[in-house]
Structure 1
Amino acid sequence: MQSSQPPSRTSSRPTRSAPPHVVLVPGFWLGAWAWDDVLPHLRERGLEPVALTLPGLDPSGDAASRAAVTLEDHVRAVEDAIDAAPEEASTVLVAHSGAAVPVTAALDRHVEQVTHVVWVDTAPVVDGFALDPEADGTEHPLDAQWDDELEQGSMAGLDEDQLATFRERAVPQPGAALREAVRLTDERRLDVPMTLVATAYSGADYRSYAEQGMPFLAGLLEYRRLEVVDLPTGHWPMWSRPADLAQIIADRALGRPGTV
């Protein structure tokens, strides 16, 4: 399902001659490894993507180092990846789940460099949003939510080996990155082309939840060049449908009509 698109307000951007610089940002508990099944499919399509491990999500860290990580640290990591784009290359950001907060902030600060954003079962956020302003503790491990995730169906499409790998490799999420609110100042971000890949819920559900006032999805009512593509599976399509997800990303990065 795709939404209709209003006229572009960003058509004055300079044309880029180099291949797009695709930056993949994983959600909670994950590092760059989360994109391992997607990377080869993107490379087959002529892209050289960069997968990030945000600060505090490296498995070599400890609780003390994670406690020092802030939302701003996550935003700066995405900014650094944008700034590392080859000369004449535009940037396409891909955000999964909770990475929507730092990616929205990085987009806000680099509107002229980012030509498309792909939101993987997530959505752009609004100014002042915090993932969990009441979150306590210095870190939030996956194990604390594992049973809920299974019961709610977010693990749909994953086999036993994938579930075991996820649980084994997951790193606790830094607490401050959950509590701190995002600050956005450049309204030009609202006109950047973007695609929401709806997986655990349909695109129609996403829109309905936004209209009902769900804070995390409020951005869906603000952004003016947002399409929605349904890719039915669970919340982790980089493992359950990696080839299809890669096709969507590549099509948007390369400016081709969607095929999924």
Structure 2
Amino acid sequence: MDNNGTHIVLVPGFWLGSWAWDDVAGRLRALGHPVTALTLPGLEPDAAAREDVRLVDQTRAIERAIDAAGPARVVLVAHSGAAVPATAALDARVEAVAHAVWVDTVPAVDGYRMNAGLEAPDYPLSAAWDEEFEQGSMRDLTDAQLETFRERAVPEPAGVLRDPVQLTDPRRLDVPGTVVCTAFTAAEYRSYAEQGMSFLAGLLEFRALDLVDLPTGHWPMWSRPAELAQLIADRA
């Protein structure tokens, strides 16, 4: 199979760097796919002035990765909260994206803010980690993976959560996409979206989304890397 025409851009979610994709990226490269895994601005371990990083900074980093893959069209893969800057990058580079894969997340809608009321300068992993978080989101992770996550997690810049996403190109709504449903099923995703959950509004707005179940926790790049890599490769 000739994969030279499709480049895969992997964008990790909150607290993570490119390292989070190491297993999946290695599997995709073994299948012959060119891959770029990103560490978004503000999520470098030694990031300076993290409090100054805004949503537009992360968006532009994804745009640059898409541009660098040219002239090939890309498969854009976004995990969790990275869906917001990834949607903005898709909006800005709609002609360059052949397919978008949304890993336990969905594309954002115009004006959406992840946490408009956040007053702290950043959002650390410790702010989210409790018993419910560990038993639900962390399902299927090993003790070693949990420890690595704790050790390597970097606080998410607050500006990224507070800023509204600004979208202007309606063609984004027709870009083929796959929603990988892990912590919740596809049926639950649809039901919650229909009930009006704001972070799932894109599920109702985007017109070319396919929902696929991959039962596990919120981090399938660690708990189900082989299956996730194959799912991405199939879309590429």
Q: Give the TM interval when normalised to the shorter protein.
A: over 0.9
Task: Give TM-score, length-normalised by structure 2.
Answer: 0.97
Partner in structure 2 of residue 256 of structure 1: none
Give the C-alpha shift of residue 40 in structure 1. Answer: 1.5
Is contact 1:149–1:155 with CA below 8 Å preserved after alignment? no
* Structure 1 length-normalised TM: 0.88
Give yes or no for the alignment of 1:77 onto 2:77. no
Cα shift readout 1:180-217 (whole Å, capped 9, x = no counterpart):
00011110000000000000000000000000000000
Q: Which has the higher helix share?
A: 2
- Which of the numbers 160, 168, 171 marks the counterpart of 1:185? 168
Matching residue's letter, 1:38: V
- Name which of structure 1's ranges 17-26 and 37-46 shifts more when overlaid on structure 2: 17-26
Q: Gapped runs of 5+ residues in structure 1?
A: 1-16, 254-260
Percent identity between the two aligned chains: 64
CA contact (8 A) 1:202 1:232 kept: yes
CA–CA distance in structure 2, aligned partners of residues 194 and 144 of structure 1: 31
Q: Which runs of 5+ in 2 are unaligned?
A: none
Distance 2:114 2:172 in 1: 20
Q: Which amino acid aligns with 1:140?
A: Y
State the SS of the aligned residue for 2:95. coil
Q: Which runs of 4+ in 1 moved over 2 A?
A: 148-152
| SS of aligned partner of 1:42 | helix
Shift of 1:86: 3.7
Whole-Å separation in 1 of the counterparts to 2:170 and 2:132: 35
Name which of 26, 30, 45 aligns with 1:59: 45
Distance in 1 (CA, whole Å) between partners of 2:132 and 2:230 is: 27
CA distance in 1 between partners of 2:101 and 2:164 (Å): 22
Give the distance between the partners of 2:75 and 2:25, measured in 1 at CA: 14
Asked which structure has the greater CA Rg, the reply is: 1
Structure 1 residue 18, shift from structure 2 partner: 4.0
Q: 1:239 to 1:104 in 2, by over 3 A?
A: same
Amino acid at match of 1:37: D
Task: Indicate if the aligned counterparts of 2:4 and 2:33 stay in contact, CA closer than 8 A.
Answer: no
Aligned residues: 234
